[in-house]
């Protein structure tokens, strides 16, 4: 029986399997709190019962006995255990209260059993499912782009290089260029892949490996691109609030705020954002990119995400379409999460003109040879198109209201860590 289903069986004899989450000894009884993937339940075991001494914290066990309701018990129910089987006897569990962050990362494979990480993993599952559902409902095909690539998508500074047989290859920063190739047959596509960024600094919101949800569509302009993003994000939030309310609340997240996340989201130009930041005394000049501090300042009092649009061409990527009204700007959007979280999505309309794209590549000092195939896409039936990429861990961080991105992924990869 799953622990979640126990309330239907009060007064009956039940059998449950799981792991010992807490253990407390009293004269002639041992109180065990068991957990399985669905919840926790308290068990009272007579001290004389065979095997009870082996039922240490994190031992896996099967118990049977009669179930009663008990308001004071963790989980609200209690099993009076008659039979106990210890399946996997645990050694003394290394994790106790108040451990350092670094230690918990060293034993991440064990810390994953915590209630906090379990709740977050469930939220992520639901967010991923919601995203796929939304894309599927709106006519996008899921595709599987490569992870081993021959050129940068988001600039050389964060590219991971490795020896690939007798040449050099890279780990993908974004599936975008490959998704662009796929819109000529499928029109609307999306992918969910790991993306890699050799981020040289440690921050609260950067991982070296993260899960990237990207969409790309033919015949879609900058404006429609933003409408797609706000609908997708709102759908994901709505589904998570509906299905994972308990987990969110266990993490201390006020779901009332999330319930207000509905389209449309506000749009603000980069120029306007710089003006506001300068007025508030932030040290930023026109032409500079926004960092975490600037994004926090802009979003700390917001309850809904906001689009920042039309950034200076120089600080964005080579593939973005130049704004026809101002050749120093591009038709891009950064979607910032509210409550201080900042960048969740990067998106843009793409340059679909061969000559202009070549010109951009020169400006960004890219070798045309590495991108010949990509230029071909503009040679054979080029089409206006747009797309975007959403960082799944950024989404989970905001929705769960976490102060660090590391807990949104089971095995975080950052500059000083690839273990366990």
Contacts with Mg ion by CB under 5 A lie at: 346
How many whole angstroms separate alpha carbon 149 and alpha carbon 164? Answer: 10
Instruction: Give which of 388, 126, 387, 397 is closest to 238, Cα–Cα.
Output: 126
329 interacts with, out of ligand 4AD, Mg ion, none, CB within 5 to 8 A per kind: none
Considering the rule CB under 6 A, would residue 391 count as an interface residue with ligand 4AD? yes
Q: Does 387 contact ligand 4AD by CB under 6 A?
A: yes
| CB 280, min distance to ligand 4AD, A | 23
Partner in contact with 30, chosen from Mg ion, ligand 4AD, none, beta carbon below 5 to 8 Å by kind? none
Listed ranges 56-64, 99-107, 116-124, 169-177: which one lies at the site for ligand 4AD (CB under 6 A): 169-177
Distances (CA, A) of 338 to 25, 272, 335, 355: 47, 17, 10, 39
CA 371 centroid distance within chain: 30
Using the contact rule CB under 6 A, the part of the chain among 23-31, 238-246, 358-366, 383-391 near ligand 4AD is 383-391
Contact positions with ligand 4AD (CB under 6 A) in 187-246? 197, 199, 206-207, 210, 212, 214
Shortest CB 18 distance to ligand 4AD, Å:
33
* Contact status: 343 vs ligand 4AD (CB under 6 A): yes
Nearest CA among 194, 151, 145, 146 for reference residue 169 = 151
Give the count of residues interacting with ligand 4AD (CB under 6 A): 24
Where does this chain touch ligand 4AD (CB under 6 A) — which range of 114-122, 278-286, 342-350, 366-374?
342-350
E strands present in 300-384? 306-309, 322-323, 326-330, 332-337, 342-349
Q: How far is the CB of 87 from ligand 4AD (least distance, A)?
A: 38
| Shortest CB 83 distance to ligand 4AD, Å | 48
Q: Residue 386 CB, nearest distance to ligand 4AD (Å)?
A: 8
Quick one: which of 140, 190, 270, 388 contacts ligand 4AD (CB under 6 A)? Answer: 388
- b/e per residue, 342-368, with b = 16+ CB within 10 A? bbbbbbbbbbbeeeebbebbeebebee
End-to-end CA distance of the chain: 32
Cα gap 191→275, rounded to integer Å: 36
**Can residue 172 be called a binding residue for ligand 4AD (CB under 6 A)?**
no
Residue 14 or residue 320: which is nearer to ligand 4AD going by CB? 320
Show the binding pattern over residues 21-50: x = contacts ligand 4AD (CB under 6 A), - = does not. ------------------------------
| Partner residues linked to 19 by β-bridges | 35, 60
DSSP result, 102-126: HHHHHTHHHHTTSHHHHHHHHHHHH
Contact by Cβ (8 Å): 127, 408: no
Q: Which is nearer to Mg ion, 195 or 360 (CB)?
A: 195
Pick the closer one to ligand 4AD by CB: 76 or 194.
194
Residue number, 126 or 348, with CB nearest to Mg ion:
348
Does residue number 174 form part of the binding site for ligand 4AD (CB under 6 A)?
Answer: yes
* Helix or strand run (H / E) with residue 78: strand 77-88
Q: Assess 374 for contact with ligand 4AD (CB under 6 A).
A: no
- Rounded Cα gap, residues 148 and 145, in angstroms: 9
Q: Determine contact, residues 125/95, Cβ cutoff 8 Å.
A: no
The two tokens of residue 410 are 């089971």
Binding site for ligand 4AD (CB under 6 A): 153-154, 173-174, 176, 197, 199, 206-207, 210, 212, 214, 343-347, 387-391, 393-394
């Amino acid at each position: 029986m799953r622990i979640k289903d126990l309330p239907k069986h009060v007064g009956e004899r039940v059998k449950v399997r799981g792991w010992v989450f807490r253990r407390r000894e009293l004269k002639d009884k041992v109180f065990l709190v068991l957990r399985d993937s669905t919840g926790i339940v308290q068990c009272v075991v007579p001290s004389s019962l065979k095997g009870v001494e082996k039922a240490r914290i994190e031992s896996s066990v099967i118990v049977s006995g009669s179930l009663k309701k008990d308001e004071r018990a963790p989980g609200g129910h209690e099993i009076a255990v008659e039979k106990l089987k210890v399946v996997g006897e645990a050694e003394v569990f290394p994790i106790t209260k108040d451990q350092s962050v670094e230690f918990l990362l060293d034993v991440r494979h064990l810390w994953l059993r915590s209630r906090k990480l379990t709740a977050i993993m469930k939220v992520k599952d639901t967010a991923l499912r919601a995203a796929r559902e939304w894309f599927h409902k709106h006519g996008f095909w899921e595709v599987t782009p490569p992870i081993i690539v021959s050129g940068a998508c988001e600039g050389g500074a964060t590219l991971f290089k490795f020896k690939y047989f007798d040449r050099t290859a890279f780990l993908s920063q974004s599936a975008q260029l490959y998704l662009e190739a796929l819109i000529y047959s499928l029109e609307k596509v999306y992918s969910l892949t790991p993306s890699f960024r050799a981020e040289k600094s440690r921050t609260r919101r950067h991982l070296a490996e993260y899960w990237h949800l990207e969409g790309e569509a033919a015949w879609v302009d900058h404006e429609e691109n933003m409408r797609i993003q706000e609908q997708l994000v709102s759908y994901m939030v709505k589904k998570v609030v509906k299905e994972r309310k308990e987990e969110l609340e266990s993490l201390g997240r006020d779901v009332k705020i999330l319930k207000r996340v509905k389209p449309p989201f506000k749009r603000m130009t980069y120029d306007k954002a710089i003006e506001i930041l300068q007025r508030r005394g932030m040290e930023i000049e026109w032409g500079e990119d926004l960092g975490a501090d600037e994004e926090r300042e802009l979003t700390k009092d917001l309850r809904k995400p906001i689009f920042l649009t039309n950034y200076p061409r120089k600080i964005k990527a080579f593939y973005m379409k130049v704004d026809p009204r101002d050749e120093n700007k591009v038709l891009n959007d950064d979607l910032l999460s509210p409550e201080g979280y900042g960048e969740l999505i990067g998106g843009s309309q793409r340059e679909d003109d061969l000559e202009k794209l070549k010109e951009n590549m020169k400006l960004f000092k890219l070798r045309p040879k590495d991108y010949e195939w990509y230029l071909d896409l503009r040679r054979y039936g080029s089409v206006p198109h747009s797309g975007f990429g959403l960082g799944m861990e950024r989404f989970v961080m905001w929705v769960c209201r976490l102060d660090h991105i590391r807990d949104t992924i089971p095995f975080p990869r950052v500059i000083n860590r690839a273990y366990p």
